[in-house]
A and B are shown apart, each in its own frame.
Chain A
Amino acid sequence: MNFLRRKFVKVKPGHKILTHPTEALSVYSNGRWSFCWLSAGFSSYTPRQVLMSENPMIEVSNLTKRYAGRTAVADISFTVARGEIVGLLGPNGAGKSTTMRILSSFMPATSGTVRVAGFDVFHESVEVRRRIGFMPENNPLYPEMRVREYLKFRARLKGLGWRRSRVRVATVMEQCGLTDVHRRIIGQLSKGYKQRVGLADALVHEPDLIILDEPTIGLDPNQIRSVRQLIKSLAEKHTVLISTHILPEAEMMCSRMLILYDGKILAADTPENLQKLMQGSSQIVAEIAAPAEELRAVWAQMPGIEQFDVSEGTDGFQRCALTPRDGYDLRPAIFTLASERGWMLRELMRNRHSLEDIYVQVTRPNEEEEN
């Protein structure tokens, strides 16, 4: 029975099979044609997805881009695997848009190589462009066209046939919530709808890689939420690269983040790992009703405290800010101490460093040094 659930793919002569046979597929060749059987679990894959699945989606090595007199991107390297949602994070002018433009083969790199799905963005530009859906910064659209007309035009440009483009346009309009406005002129739409039109355009040809440059900029909170949900839902089938300078957004959507500053990658990790990186220096705040000197004496003796600060609070309470050593959780010890001595404990909390702090810290190293 398992055999019946397999999917059969005939590979045309002249087409390369880019992967070695994996468990997902078995390849037979009679010299002229190659035949691939996809295993049951992979039956929803398109032939292209399977045939190329061993190449990482994006491989950037030693990428540098110089404009006249200014280096926008300085020798960066990173890899994005299939199915990842990766966030490019950084302040304005960090080189996010430049990187994305090079990835979409709109402009050339000064040096270094960039491969998308195994194709070089410079030498095999058409192959790369076939596989990406790119929404540039500020989401440029033709204002005089109608929503449906525009999406159909874009689908046709991206090589979809007449029938296929009809089906796909209907699907992406549904997916992006544009069905109600399909007859409206794009120039008269609200910003949120325009953004969705741009997203629908990036999705319309089912690209392997979706590149979105600041997809939520200028939207209201509700619209941002719906755009985020949409992007998250894409992760199943596509690889997504998003740029943003809003941190919580990257934290919510991305499985991995690259923090870019001044053309260089400062940090690259999952949001959780980046948080862990900072946890050692998290802070415990406790408000205890006790004499300040006694508290100071206690804190000085307690193991696991690296630094403490006691300040006068309201209503006779003292506010203690304690910095634990690596790996210590001070909260149980504080509670035990307070109950043993009969002190009143009004507040006990841990200030987790959010990614916001990490972001501020990594993107502003010079400022702190100057101060």
Chain B
Amino acid sequence: MRVFLTLLRRELSAFFLSIAGYVIIASVTLLNSLSFVVLMTNLGNDPSPMPVTEMFYRTYFFWLVVLLAAPIITMRLFALEKSSGTFETLMTTPVGDLQVVAAKFTAAVVFYIVTWLPMMACLFVVRHFTNQPTALDAGTVGGMYLGIFLTGCLFLSLGCFASAISRTQMAAAMISFVLGVSLFSMGFLAEALPATAQWQSQALSFFGLFEQMHDFARGVVDTRTVVFYVSATFFFLFLTLRAVESQRWK
């Protein structure tokens, strides 16, 4: 635990002591603010029965943030250490491989959550100016944030894996972007399949990240979805751990 906390602290300080960290936060905030502007325009045009969070999600900037931010946050985790050689100093101390992976992933998740925090301000603005407590009830906002958290974990674990198997940051970012986009578009395949292909489309619909996130944004938390996200996250973390371990026996 002590080693985990030490590593976590160092990883977090690497995020917050670099300009890159603030650039990421600023870009995510910019995209979110664009979403917010679109949302405001839509709300001004005509009234809608949808929850505000759902409308916010429907602006599609959301996926741009997740698909782009996750690779950029995670690319340096292992790849930078490998290319600068510090991976050698790190792995020749008596630290467990699991501790290294867990600390790096946790740091990435914490940073990811921090990048989403400025969005809270948007919610307060909506609440303040609409004067309607019902416009944003705790359930839908909570569901939205849970969704953001879970998709984030999934894409970050994917990014960790990509970083663990590549030597340069650029390669890591590209691999995790390609993997992420493929995973994301798998859900759309279900719609593209002919109606006769029943089990195939059902299987693919489990990967319908877009629809699942839509549910979260409406405040619907489906256990199946949660289990899917959590297990997929653990699956990629397991692969990451294996990739890190393989250094010692490959």
List residues of A whose CB falls within 8 A of some B CB: 101, 104-108, 122, 125-126, 129-130, 132, 134-138, 140-142, 144-145, 153-154, 156-159, 201
Knowing A108-B248, A108-B250, A157-B3 are in contact, say whether A140-B95 is a contact too (CB < 8 A). Answer: no
**Distance, CA A126 to CA B3, complexed state (A):** 14
Nearest 5 pairs of A and B residues by beta carbon: A140-B85, A156-B6, A129-B94, A140-B86, A104-B92
Closest to A150 in B: B10
List residues of B whose CB falls within 8 A of some A CB: 2-3, 6-7, 9-10, 13-14, 17-18, 84-86, 88-96, 247-250
What are the residues of chain A within 8 A of B10 when measuring CB–CB?
Answer: 142, 145, 153
**Distance, CA A294 to CA B18, complexed state (A):** 81
Does the CB pair A159–B3 fall under 8 Å? yes
What are the residues of chain B within 8 A of A142 when measuring CB–CB?
Answer: 10, 14, 86
Count chain B CB atoms within 10 A of each CB in A105, A153, A157 and give the residue with the most: A157
Does the CB pair B94–A126 fall under 8 Å? yes
Give A368 Cβ to nearest chain B Cβ, in Å: 36
22 A-B contacts (beta carbon < 8 Å): A104-B92, A106-B88, A106-B92, A107-B248, A108-B249, A122-B249, A125-B248, A126-B94, A126-B96, A134-B89, A138-B85, A140-B86, A140-B89, A141-B86, A141-B89, A144-B13, A144-B14, A144-B17, A144-B18, A156-B3, A157-B95, A201-B89
**Distance, CA A101 to CA B248, complexed state (A):** 11
Closest to A108 in B: B249
Does the CB pair B85–A105 fall under 8 Å? no
| Chain B facing A: main interface SS | helix
Within 8 Å by CB of B92, from A108, A122, A129, A159, lies A129
Give A123 Cβ to nearest chain B Cβ, in Å: 11
What are the residues of chain B within 8 A of A105 when measuring CB–CB?
Answer: 92, 248
What are the residues of chain A within 8 A of B250 when measuring CB–CB?
Answer: 108
What are the residues of chain B within 8 A of A130 when measuring CB–CB?
Answer: 94
Knowing A107-B248, A154-B93 are in contact, say whether A136-B14 is a contact too (CB < 8 A). Answer: no
Does the CB pair A157–B85 fall under 8 Å? no
Give B20 Cβ to nearest chain A Cβ, in Å: 11
Knowing A141-B86, A153-B6 are in contact, say whether A107-B247 is a contact too (CB < 8 A). Answer: yes
Give B52 Cβ to nearest chain A Cβ, in Å: 40
Knowing A125-B248, A158-B93 are in contact, say whether A140-B84 is a contact too (CB < 8 A). Answer: yes
Does the CB pair B6–A101 fall under 8 Å? no
Closest to A104 in B: B92
Does the CB pair A136–B6 fall under 8 Å? no
**Distance, CA A141 to CA B94, complexed state (A):** 18
**Distance, CA A101 to CA B88, complexed state (A):** 9
What are the residues of chain B within 8 A of A145 when measuring CB–CB?
Answer: 10, 13
Give B27 Cβ to nearest chain A Cβ, in Å: 21
**Distance, CA A48 to CA B18, complexed state (A):** 41
**Distance, CA A144 to CA B19, complexed state (A):** 11
Beyond A145-B13, A157-B6, A158-B94: 11 further Cβ-contacts under 8 Å? A105-B248, A122-B248, A126-B94, A129-B92, A136-B88, A136-B89, A141-B86, A145-B10, A156-B6, A159-B2, A159-B3
What are the residues of chain B within 8 A of A138 when measuring CB–CB?
Answer: 85
